[in-house]
Chain A
């Protein structure tokens, strides 16, 4: 497993089993196939797939929660859910979609594609990568376990104090929420450090930062945002945890606390979080649009720097979530202006995507449809965002359905459409089969129509005064006329079913493709970046030889060159480019070895948090598991000893990873 000698594509390489005489508390796992190979893998590609699969599962969970919410609100005085269950439902819907779907899905794509896009063979710390995945999965499952143990969190995903305190929310739901998010926070932080290190240190020769694919760039910005944002929410969650479980008084007004402390902490995390959710999708479509327009991304440096600018300015706008909180006019005015300022770099991106389309040779594959859909839908969400950057207007709109409309256009029309674009674009790369394009088109149109039917009317609902987070609405406040609020509530609920159908079509597409999907050719999209300069799916070691990069869009420039008349003409096929890499294959490729320790260490975390809620001794057991995991991990070499491996005569031929 660990060492692959003389790789070639013509002949399947059988990796020699890892020697059993390994250092450490447990022998190394050696399975290369079957479930064990997944459980103990440190391969960024397998982890990427597992990240995405788990995220997809949580997407379905969060989606069902959303459908229940819409069913409850389809008619006045809804009876589908009671008040308590409804409050849990909207809290968990948001929490699930933000922390357990969009973030890990983006992390899955980052895991899989960053090493491929920068011409690396894995991430910088493969075992930490495995640990991140397992911590995310266990944290997410732990969080959702609350449904079966006395009810889920019911304070809203923003969990404002003091309503989140033990008196106002006596069930364990919020405890599960806090501790589950702490665990997934550990996953995010470890992942961020890992990916930043990977991007900064492991790029292929010649790949300067400004030759880096834009998806990797956006993910790099996201990882920095995570690195600085997650600690803030971690602190806030600690405070709340101590308040709930150990009688601390951080948010207890009677003890002199100011509940606005929580709001500031939450939103200093929460606003960068918005960009954590959206930037990966911006990255995806900035890859997809150039590929299917057959021209480079318009204004690549502008897109890079506007992404970075969003990353910076994103830290200075958190209080726009608090325009009604009573901050005083000076703060409100300043944050209002700062919020308008962030619209500028965001607008730059929209301009660049549109200009990339302009003058192109557009091919409307499903991936491209989702990407173009994103531009339009995100623009609508962005513009409604500008309307409530105007603080006085926001005091009318905040906490109404107008805001719900706004962020669903941004996050569904933006983040999720971007992810779907990525699914269709990269599916052949990951699984070697083409998703059905026809079904993909249906998938797209159902989702566009469904999403506009669901969230479009919410603009009207909100502007006409329907607040959010109400388990029932009443006819007394619904107004008159055919298009009263009752009509639009029912309409939105029907829309949510159309949207659900759209998502179902995607799941059906997965099944159909897995059963008898078309085998993907080497370069199905005529793509531009390095991840396509390898087989579908890529070999375990990604590249037979690490390419030397001399262009942005390296792969495209190896295939196409300008002729004497300035016309782009194909000079090589993808197969020829691949052949060159194979011919220069590295003699020895040294890959990181699988390990038991990441999953062991991660498994201890939910045991600790269980203990914090129910009984400290259980927590101590969890602590021992974590310590055992850390011990085993620390004495295990990152790579298996090279017993069966002749030491190279020169270091030139050997690539060490991890």
Chain B
């Protein structure tokens, strides 16, 4: 009878707990979408159940004691100093439970650390406050030249991807809860983190090691595409630069870009009028020494550390809510002019630090040798912004 009551209580508690949860929380740790996260889930669910049951037993025991032994005028109890046999039993039982948990933990830890069957490698580098993804040459995936992107990590679904993580400044932590647990990105070290998505789709994440002022605005998204779609994505990333047509607003935007943005942001293949390549110099201007590479910017859905959407609300929802069949095609459409989130992009170009705090105090730039942490307010005119937006839309 008592056992049944405890069981019922545990059931009610679990139901209440689950009913009290959000549905479709993008970073839910209990919704694994790949084998690594699944292994963690398989381990943690029973542990939660056991912990919950023990919690209920202890609570019930205390409630019973509190009610049953309340002072009702009974005589002063016998001054018993304990019961070593009971004591030892109640020490051994939890020790045994934990031993079982320990065995499974041990296995899972080593299982998750396995990297020998990796199929694909991506170098992931954190810096204040965005992530860079660098795909080394891997001919079997059609990656014949290195690809550098940021904001969204694009991977083929059903493929064991090894992230080689590091950082250019402070410690960050890479976390896509649906795919795997966290792994810190530490400057001077390369940490391995294996992820794999079962199905095409988009999986949200967030930097989880406190990394300074805009830690809250350092997000990431992993985009899994079917193998065919991934090949298309790679092919597009490797497509050479096409300058905007002469006498267009976009062409004027390219000039603004070359005067302003190029100090930090690279667009691969961009050339000056005299044919010399345009090379960005973020190392001279930014503390971390890097700024997002903006080649093919409009194939990504987000910008500024995945904090803001490049897609407007309805287009974004269309992509996020797509089923795994239609997701790939929708994602590969990229950002068209109709779908562009004009207000956020223009706001960013107008005054980036107002949208995302980036350096605590500009007066203290002296301590960094004049280098910025994040994008400064460039003081662009409205017409410059107009031109730049037109130009950025050509980066497909």
Contact = CB atoms under 8 A, between A and B. Distances in A.
A171 B215 CA distance: 18
Interface in B176-200: 177, 180-184, 186-189, 191-192
A558 to B, nearest CB: 13
Interface stretch (A39-47, A374-382, A410-418, A642-650): A374-382
Nearest to A353: B62
Given A162-B170, A296-B80, A348-B87, A343 B209 contact: no
Contact of A568 (B75, B91, B175, B373): B75
Interface in A356-392: 357-364, 372, 375-376, 379-380, 383-384, 386-387, 390-392
Given A293-B69, A332-B109, A465-B27, A560 B76 contact: yes
A390 B22 contact: no
B53 to A, nearest CB: 10
B78 A568 contact: yes
A295 B79 contact: yes
A344 B58 contact: no
B215 A470 contact: yes
B48 to A, nearest CB: 6
B184 A299 contact: no
Contacts of A399: 173, 182, 208-210
Given A160-B210, A258-B189, A83 B71 contact: no
6 shortest interchain CB distances as A-B pairs: A465-B27, A395-B181, A479-B22, A479-B25, A470-B216, A326-B191
B77 A392 contact: no
Contacts of B217: 472
Nearest to A258: B188
A340 B47 contact: no
Contact of B182 (A324, A333, A360): A324
A457 to B, nearest CB: 8
Interface stretch (B139-147, B273-281, B357-365): B357-365
Contacts of A384: 51
Contacts of B206: 465, 467, 470, 477
A601 to B, nearest CB: 35
Contact of A393 (B44, B65, B210, B361): B44
A236 to B, nearest CB: 16
Interface string B247-286: 0000000000000000000000000000000000000000
16 contacts: A168-B128, A171-B361, A171-B364, A259-B171, A302-B84, A302-B87, A329-B109, A337-B102, A344-B95, A357-B62, A362-B70, A372-B66, A394-B181, A464-B27, A476-B26, A477-B25
Contacts of B171: 160, 162-163, 259
Given A328-B113, A485-B25, A392 B91 contact: no
B189 A260 contact: yes
Contacts of A395: 40, 180-183
A481 interface: yes
A469 interface: yes
Contacts of A488: 20, 22
B66 A362 contact: yes
Contact of A162 (B66, B113, B187, B368): B187
B65 A357 contact: yes
B235 interface: no
A477 B189 contact: no
Most chain-A Cβ atoms within 10 A of its Cβ — which of B47, B52, B214, B217?
B47
Interface in B75-99: 75-84, 86-87, 90-91, 94-95, 98
A83 B216 contact: yes
A16 interface: no
A478 interface: yes
Interface of A: 82-84, 87, 154-156, 160, 162-163, 166-171, 253, 256-260, 293-302, 324-326, 328-329, 332-333, 336-337, 340-341, 343-344, 347-348, 350-352, 354-355, 357-364, 372, 375-376, 379-380, 383-384, 386-387, 390-400, 460, 462-473, 476-481, 483-485, 487-488, 552, 560, 562, 566-569
B313 to A, nearest CB: 10
B151 to A, nearest CB: 14
Contact of B82 (A171, A298, A333): A298
A291 to B, nearest CB: 12
B54 A397 contact: no
Of B19, B184, B287, most A-chain CB atoms within 10 Å: B184
Contacts of A336: 102, 105-106, 109
Given A391-B105, A399-B208, A171 B77 contact: no
A397 B37 CA distance: 12
A480 B24 contact: yes
Interface residues of B, number: 100
Contacts of A340: 98, 101-102, 105
B43 A355 contact: no
Nearest to B46: A390
Interface string B353-376: 000010011001001100001000
A390 B105 contact: yes
A560 B77 CA distance: 12
B187 A386 contact: no
B81 A463 contact: no
Contacts of B62: 354, 357, 372, 375-376
Contacts of B94: 343-344, 347
Contacts of B109: 329, 332-333, 336, 391-392
A328 B52 CA distance: 30
B30 interface: yes
A259 B28 contact: no
A610 B270 CA distance: 53
A566 B184 contact: no
A341 B40 CA distance: 21
Contacts of B367: 166-167, 170
A393 B37 CA distance: 9
A170 B364 CA distance: 7
B204 interface: yes
A361 B69 contact: yes
A561 to B, nearest CB: 10
Interface string B339-357: 0000000000000000001
Contact of A392 (B44, B61, B76, B373): B44
Contacts of B216: 83, 469-473
Given A87-B212, A395-B181, A562-B79, 19 more contacts: A83-B216, A87-B213, A156-B210, A162-B187, A168-B169, A296-B80, A300-B81, A351-B87, A375-B58, A375-B62, A379-B55, A390-B47, A391-B105, A392-B43, A392-B105, A396-B40, A467-B175, A480-B23, A481-B24
A473 B216 CA distance: 7
A355 B210 contact: no
B232 interface: no
Contacts of A468: 208, 210
Given A295-B77, A379-B55, A397 B61 contact: no
Contacts of A253: 187-188
B210 A568 contact: no
A301 B213 CA distance: 50
B21 interface: yes
B39 interface: yes
B59 to A, nearest CB: 6
B87 A480 contact: no
A571 B206 CA distance: 67
B160 to A, nearest CB: 17
A425 to B, nearest CB: 17
Contacts of B26: 465, 476-477, 479
Given A355-B86, A386-B51, A467 B208 contact: yes
A364 B44 CA distance: 38
B108 interface: yes
A472 B215 CA distance: 10
Contact of A359 (B22, B61, B69): B69
Nearest to B365: A170
Nearest to B22: A479
Given A300-B82, A358-B69, A376-B58, A337 B287 contact: no
